[in-house]
Structure 1
């Protein structure tokens, strides 16, 4: 795309529609070749799937979703803004990720240099290759239409790379090393206490009582019958759900004394 192609035309270069004779005519552009055509031509050429740009001499393959409404009147500004967004999304680093303020300033200068290379088409191929290598090395998502080839993966894959290195591609300098956290042990609700069943044993005679019953009877509370009996015995021997006062009252056939409500109110009223 030449700089002369970036000046917005007064009419559609494909069908020749003019806004003066077609009120409400809307134009769309794409961020690959930056050609500007009317919305009707976009629908006619790209509704069936991927196709080449209909502007004469342009053979860029595009999807319909890649055409969008123009934001800036000057297409040169439109192109530069898109390049800045793409580079900033790839090289997204914050000041706290660097060792010193000088390292962060050097990174900003590097990013601006890459942007200017793409804007003015200076070493454009080398700049795009650096961005692709950085994205692949850092596990970033790249354009699906430019999927990495096997050769790209082999060239960007480095052996014996220190996992603490923040940028395996080596493009950005001065980054702090990654802090690798140790894997945490799985949560243990018993906090390491042994859960050995030394004080009881579930015998087959207990399980035999359930034989001959429907299948539903073998699946009590989500357990099979053996697990259910085991859980019940564990709760009984561990004292879960057992209150001493209730047990003693049942044994002695006496009710648990309930304090008088008035006495409780007087005791609580300390003022």
Structure 2
């Protein structure tokens, strides 16, 4: 309960269940009443660290530990300038070093370690990467704007769908009331047997249900839209023909010529006849379905065995005996 208490007025959650603790950039919590009292003119200083604060920057504390709130604020502020992406670096190591540097800066500011030097590093970085920071901010702003537009579009579609469902339910209720009134009128003013009238209405209602079920059993495929705004479904895509390349002759396969200096390796057809295959494990049905046979493994083993004999030594050039 000590963590959930205002450090100034000592009010706790136990005494006041509706207590709201608020934090600012310094990370020290104050209850809402103390914030209104101390920052009546809109600005003031923190009672614990004397950091100048503004009333508009106070917000309700979400985490029990105020240090976490402070780290969240610092992380948001630092990442607004340190907004590089992985594609901005030449290698993954450089990107990881950059992320490590960002975490060190956040840790120092959160725990009040070398605050002055850390702020100098931030200012130096902002000067050296001013154009890239601005470009990435514009890019992030566009992405956020597009996401907000997609979410707003999704919200509007949901509202339209809800209105349609409510309208369908109301129409269904009105239809049931009309059918009920028609059945009552038929029973009151018709001379036919009441049992037959009820059966006729029941059969008519069942037929209408079956017809409705058949019409709704195979609806047209609709796109599914998730919270990201990306639509999935059987959409019609334009298929462009592949360009024809007529330059040059057509490809013709030619078997490679292997120059060996030693015994010739066995051919594919002679692997089984010469008895090499008896030393190999036969392939299973699943392996054979995948295109693998024992002959392939045998041929590879033989080629690896003979590979040392394939090397052809360069013959020395004849000595020049002229003159």
Q: TM-score range by the shorter chain?
A: 0.3 to 0.5
Higher relative CO (CA 8 A, sep ≥ 6), structure 1 or 2? 1
Q: Please state which structure has a larger fraction of its residues in helix.
A: 2
**TM score, norm. by length of structure 1:** 0.43
**TM score, norm. by length of structure 2:** 0.37
Q: Which has the larger radius of gyration?
A: 2
